[in-house]
Amino acid sequence: MLMDCSICTTMPSFLRPPRNTICAACYDGARSLISLVNSLSSPNDNKTADDKSNVGNSIVTLSNSSKGFAKVVKWVKEMKEMEEQVNDKVVFLGDLQVAFREQMHTDILVKPGNHHGLPPIPAHRALLAAKSEIFKNMLDSDGCKEAPTDAITLPELDRDELESLLEFLYKGSLPTDKVERHVYALSVAADKYMIPFLQKFCQRHMQTSLSSSNVLDVLEISDVCSNITLKTTALNFIVENNEDIVFSARYEAFALKNAHLSVQITRALLLDLKKVNLII
């Protein structure tokens, strides 16, 4: 006979005594929630990483807490309030995007490379300088040069890529279609102009969208940008899906262009093979 559950039942008035019992699924869920909150909100800042990730210790903590679930409810409410504050701040800062879109009081023109007569994009010196130390240096004057009065050029970006870069600087995000089209160019620009938030944004997108069809491009970009984390992720993906990638026509063209990366792929495959043999 199934146990009545005072939490997930749809008809609490028909519960048989005792009326405070819960099913195994609700019990495990409650313990997991309390464990998560304990691990995230522990006041002991001196814990090691292993201590913080030790779920077993957290479960012991919640077992000794008489108000564990009340703590979870309070934490969820605090997170909801924090989310609302962040959303309010995003809306408040969204005025910058309006200033960019409507070209309000712009004071610098930004030109792409090979613009072929296309008009430059108006922007704001202060915002560019605040978002990038490189832009700040470009727009400043010193004893050897005068500050540019009219325009600057970003030669590695075409018009659409430049527009996406500026939109990100003003907004902090981009529509999915623009990210998919320009993520490689934006990643290179973020590295060259020292825009850490954009670097992380591009890295996350490339990691979450990794596939056999794009992993070689991601590996190439990770090498150009000296992104060790992204390169490791790409190499591991290639090792796990080596037949689909290494025997493709795309890989032949890649190997001719990137001999040093092909060597790194070969080494990664051999190390993985050695690991498998040791396990066997």
- Give the tens place of pLDDT for each residue, 154-164: 999 999 999 99
Backbone angles phi, psi at 152, to 5 degrees: -125, 160
Specify if 213 maps to a domain: no
**The pLDDT value given to residue 61:** 46
User: What value does the mean pLDDT of the chain take?
Assistant: 82
**Residue 64, domain extent:** 12-71
Distances (CA, A) of 91 to 77, 79, 127, 163, 265: 21, 18, 17, 21, 45
Specify if 47 maps to a domain: yes
- Can you give the pTM of this predicted structure? 0.69
- The number of C-alpha atoms within 13 Å of 166 and in the hemisphere containing its C-beta is 27
Specify if 238 maps to a domain: no
> Residue 228 pLDDT more than 90?
yes
> Residue 184 pLDDT more than 50?
yes
- Give 133's contacts (C-beta < 8 A, 6+ positions apart): 194
Specify if 66 maps to a domain: yes
Higher pLDDT, 111 or 74: 111
Of 131, 133, 202, residue with least CA distance to 171: 131
Alpha helical stretches, state H, 41-132: 49-52, 55-63, 68-93, 95-101, 125-131
Tell me the mean pLDDT in the region 99-116. Answer: 85
Count structural domains, the chain: 1
> Residue 63 pLDDT more than 60?
no
Specify if 60 maps to a domain: yes
Tell me the mean pLDDT in the region 97-120. Answer: 85
Residue 123 is classified by DSSP as: E
Specify if 118 maps to a domain: no
CA 174 – CA 243 distance, rounded (Å): 34
